[in-house]
Amino acid sequence: MITISLCMIVKNESQVLSRCLDSVSDLVDEIVIVDTGSTDETKKIASLYTDKVYDFEWVGDFSAARNHAFSLCSCDYIYSADADEILDETNRERFKALKETLDPEVEIVQMYYANQLENGSVYNFDKELRPKLFKRVRNFTWIERVHETVRTEPLVFDSEIEITHKPLHNHATRDYGIFEDMISKGEKLSPRLFDFYARELFVSGEKDDFAKAEDYFTAVADDDETDLDRLKTALCIVVKAAYWRKDFLKMYRYAIKDVAMESCSEICFLMGSYYEDQRDYKEAAIWYYNAAFECTSVLNIKYQKEYPLQGLIDVYNNMGLKEQALEYEKLLNEA
């Protein structure tokens, strides 16, 4: 039977760390916890479960912290967990069975990362397979400063284990700082991180976050070398940033670029919001309808479902068309 090191990087996780460790600590042979600067009781709690608690000076790079933590592990496999994850009893049993039967030729085991939509994450689906268990001798290397991932081409096994993700708060503010630092230093965002930055903005970004990101995404949108997918993503950010600044000329100019291709739900919704603000409810209804029924979202699925349907309810109520509003209310309840 294989041996497993539970490997974690943590910072100020005192509210959730015990919950995580209670669900998995008895399934593993070693627990390695690397703290990146906690100011709460995180390290004290960690020490109740293991004597392998280490400090790592935070350098604004999650992969650097992950790589250091991996280097401290000694078992056959490394299980990489975050403090806001939980294994319920069904999946604890699956984990036990996996440990007893795993073919040692397998280099990575993927597990389902679930409960995404409940927590306002950047994902438009509730669960996905993610690499979680790694063969230690493979010398895996973490890449990307945020939303880190492993750069490998290993033998992968897709398990049925489902990890419940239950964060107490959104981590987007932390990520924005890293993105902004990378851009200010002239570091190029990979296509993956470019997409993550835009998604996080559309899920939880505030006006100030969009204002800081606007110049970068405007430059991407204006670059003739930008491919279609990146262009549509950039246009979403630029249009929303301009809308919030009330720079409606810029908003309209970049929105039309999107409409000229194949408009997305996010931009149609923002146009609907603009016309609703102007009390032009008929025009707003057209844009909201397009967002909900004629387009697809590229960053946040709520702009294709809940948000435009609520917009349609509001504008039809404002026009005194209660029956139409009720029809969309029914659709919203079914969404």
Last residue of a domain, one of 165, 195, 222: 165
Do 102 and 210 lie in one domain? The reply is no
Return d(Cα 45, Cα 64) in angstroms, integer.
24
- Please state the pTM of the whole predicted model: 0.79
Three-class DSSP labels, the chain: CCCEEEEEEECCCCCCHHHHHHHHHHHCCEEEEEECCCCCCHHHHHHCCCCCEEECCCCCCHHHHHHHHHHCCCCCEEEECCCCEECCHHHHHHHHHHHHHCCCCCCEEEEEEECCHHHCCCCCCCCEEEEEEEEHHHCCCEECCCCCEECCCCCEEEEEEEEEECCCCCCHHHHHHHHHHHHHCCCCCCHHHHHHHHHHHHHHCCHHHHHHHHHHHHHHHHCCCCCHHHHHHHHHHHHHHHHHHCCHHHHHHHHHHHHHHCCCHHHHHHHHHHHHHCCCHHHHHHHHHHHHHHCCCCCCHHHCCHHHHHHHHHHHHHCCCHHHHHHHHHHHHHC
Same domain? 142 vs 217 = no
Among 100, 134, 165, residue at a domain's last position: 165
pLDDT of residue 125: 47
Q: What is the mean pLDDT of the chain?
A: 92
Same-domain status, 161 and 177: no
> Which residues, 6+ apart, have CB-to-CB distance to 119 below 8 Å?
165, 166, 167, 170
What gap in Å lies between CA 203 and CA 206, rounded to an integer? 9
Q: Is it the case that residue 227 has pLDDT exceeding 50?
A: yes
Instruction: Report the domain count for the chain.
Output: 2
Q: Using pLDDT thresholds of 50, 70 and 90, give the confidence band for residue 168.
A: confident
Query: Which range has the worst mean pLDDT, 169-173, 181-185, 314-318, 329-333?
Result: 169-173
Q: Is the pLDDT assigned to residue 119 strictly greater than 60?
A: no
127 and 265, same domain (yes or no): no
- Quick one: average pLDDT of 232-260? 96
From 165, 200, 227, give the residue that closes a domain: 165
Q: What is the CATH number of the domain that holds 134?
A: 3.90.550.10
Cα 241 from Cα 136, distance rounded (Å): 45
Which domain range does residue 29 map to?
4-165
pLDDT in tens, 68-104: 999 999 999 999 999 999 999 999 999 999 999 999 9
Position of tokens 């930055």? 197
